[in-house]
Every structure is written in structure tokens, then in C-alpha cells.
Amino acid sequence: MSVRICVPRETAAGETRVALAPDGAKRLISDHISVAVEAGAGDAAGFPDASYEAVGADIVSDPGRLLGEADVVFKVAPPTEAEADRLPKGAVLACLLRPHESEALIQRLAGRGVTVLALELVPRITRAQSMDALSSQSNLAGYKAVLIAANTLGRIFPLLMTAAGTLSPARVLVLGVGVAGLQALATARRLGADTWGYDIRAAVREEVESIGAKFVDLGEGTSEDAQTEGGYAKELAEEEQARQREQLAAHIARADVVVTTALVPGRPAPVLITGEVVERMRPGSVIVDLAGEAGGNCALAQPGETVVEHGVTIHAPLNVPGSLPYHASQLLGRNLSALVKPMIGEDGVSVDLEDDVIGPCCVAHAGEVRFGA
């Protein structure tokens, strides 16, 4: 039995990524797997239709026909209602679903008998590392955040000794040292900055120091118990958040660049930088708030906008990986392939809810909503 994997063109505003690059399609295509891509789906990411045809993928111009023939659908963003209604019963949809915001969509897909895999819910276990789309996209976001800051800051990052005198390095502080934060620190360090990182998880200190950055130690501000079983930071109580902000204020005020990455799944981003702290920063300083899509870690951030407050430039970009669509698409496609390919055999697609990866990320199957179950 042949399984058809279909890749539609993304319709979300500003989305430049495609869910499968040609190299990923080439790895998937076999005697029992075919790949179909909607015409123009890869154009914005630098993958013309011809590059898919060259590896054996089919190009389909009609999106309705494409989805109607799908056994498996790879997408970047959640489908629209119209796209959801075109998916056949028994199809498998895998995408960045934003499940905490998509309850109605999940209900709609479940009602159609579609199996839905949310990439955000892939567990952080060793076997699932190649499937971890949050990590692959966060890596790119952390890298790009530092480039945004470097391009805005009115000084260079590295120490520079010249005949005219010595220029001191820029001080870069990263708040929230997960995948994005660690990549931001590494990128800033490669550019020669004086790099500092802070996280409420005490275990992160070793990772920060392993790349040559310094860890901001707030004493009681970090904890061995401040992370979930999946490795994410826990949400702090309001009293603890206030104490954290107060202790961090002096470090933020001394920084030339602050990159924030703190997110709590399903909740607004915690405020780490208040307006009063921004006012204490030196004019010309830069904040890059990677939590903009969840409201922002800086109280003065405007999601999707760049503003200047008290002489400080505050960026709150949305969909940062989408600004690097070529590599973001390659990585996302590999994540999706690693997740779904083991489900495909000569007899079709098999959904094993007892599997320690598929079970946790499957939010709908056989007409039932499983998210939150």
C-alpha cells in the first residue's frame, strides 16, 4: 500500500517556511511512500518547484485535490478551517499546532476523524531529539536575535585594540537559557561580546559556563526544582517573580544588549523587565524580546513591532525562524520526517498511542480529542 505525504503551501500571514525541503522529500520517497507538494509551496524558502520534481516529488496545483488525496499532511502553521475540512477521514496531520490556543480547531479535526500530531508536545526524551521542532527552530531564533541586536546597537560587540585606543566589548545578557538562549549566548560570544546568562534553573549554570559565558547567580533566585520533568522552566509565583525582577534589575541596567527567551507553555510570558528597569538602562541599549508571541518578557514590548522607550530600542519580532526560511524549513522537515516515517509501513500508516513519542503529542485520533487527557 502506497502512502502519500502532502505538503501544502502555507497560508498564514508572513509565513515563509515550507514543511518539507527537497532534501527531506528525497529521503522519504520510496516504493511505498510518495510525496506531493503544492505548486509554489517552497518558493519563499528558496525551493522552487523544479527542485522538488528533481528528487521525484509530484507538484500539484489544486490545494483541494492535494489535501483530499493525503494520507499524511506536513504543515508549518495550524491549518485554516477550510484546510481542515478538506482533510480526509483517517489522515494524519503533523504541524506546529499551538495546541493551547487551538481547542476549537482540534475539535473540528477530531470530528473529521483526522489524527493530529502537535510538534510542540513531542517529549524531550533521547529518542525524540531528532523530532524536536521547538529546539530546531529555537536554535535559529537565538542566533537571529543576536544579529538583530548587533545590527541595532550603536557600538561593536568585540574588544578592539587600535592605534586610536581600545574599545571595550559590549555586554550581552541573556535571560532564559533554554535552546534559544544558549544559542544566543554562543552567537554573541563568537562575535566577541562579554556574555552573561541567567535562568531560574540552577542546572543551566554548567551549560552557560561550558560555552565561555558567565552565569548570573542570584542566590535564591535559582532552584534545582525550578524545571518540569520535560526540562522546561516552571512558572514562578508572583512573589517569586517580583523578587527575581528586583534582583535582575542591576544586571539589566549594566547590559548593552538583553535577549529574553522566557516562555511558559499555555500561559502569557512572564514579565522580566519592567518599564522602570528599562528607564535605568543606558541610552542606545537594545532589548530583543523573543517571547513577543506570548506577550513579551519586557513590559514595554509591542509584539511584532520595534519601539524606542527611554532611549532603549526594544524589538519584539514574531516568527523569527521564518526570517531564515531556507534552513528553518530544512530542519522542520527533518523533524517531521523523523516523527512520522516510523509510523509508515507497507500496510499504510499505523498510529500507536502507546508509543512514548506519538502518545504524548497526539491531540486527536479516531474522532476523539486527546489534548489534556
Q: Is 52 a catalytic residue?
A: no
Kindly report the number of other CB atoms within 10 A of residue 369's CB atom.
Answer: 16
- List C-alpha distances in Å: 69 to 52, 89, 115, 134, 248: 18, 11, 15, 29, 54
Q: How far apart are CA 211 and CA 223, in angstroms?
A: 21
DSSP character for 258? E
| Distance between CA atoms of residues 223 and 325, nearest Å | 37
Q: Which member of 4, 65, 108, 124 is catalytic?
A: 124
Which grid coordinates belong to 126? 533521547
The residue from 30, 61, 107, 129 that is catalytic is 129
Query: Active-site residue among 4, 51, 190, 232?
Result: 232
Select which of 135, 244, 285, 330 is catalytic. Answer: 135
Q: In whole angstroms, how large is the CA radius of gyration of the chain? A: 22
Q: What amino acid is encoded at 221 in this protein?
A: G
Residue 129 annotated to the active site:
yes
Given 9, 52, 102, 132, the catalytic residue: 132
Q: Is 143 a catalytic residue?
A: no
CA distances from 141 to 8, 13, 135, 257 (A): 24, 19, 10, 16
What is the rounded distance in angstroms from the CA atom of residue 339 to the CA atom of residue 49? 25
Give, to the nearest 10 degrees, the angle between helix 325-340 and helix 133-152.
170
CA atoms of 22 and 8, how far apart (whole Å): 14
Classified as helix, coil or strand, 275 is helix
Question: Among candidates 45, 54, 1, which has minimal Cα distance to 25?
Answer: 54
The residues annotated with a catalytic role in the active site are: 124, 129, 132, 135, 232
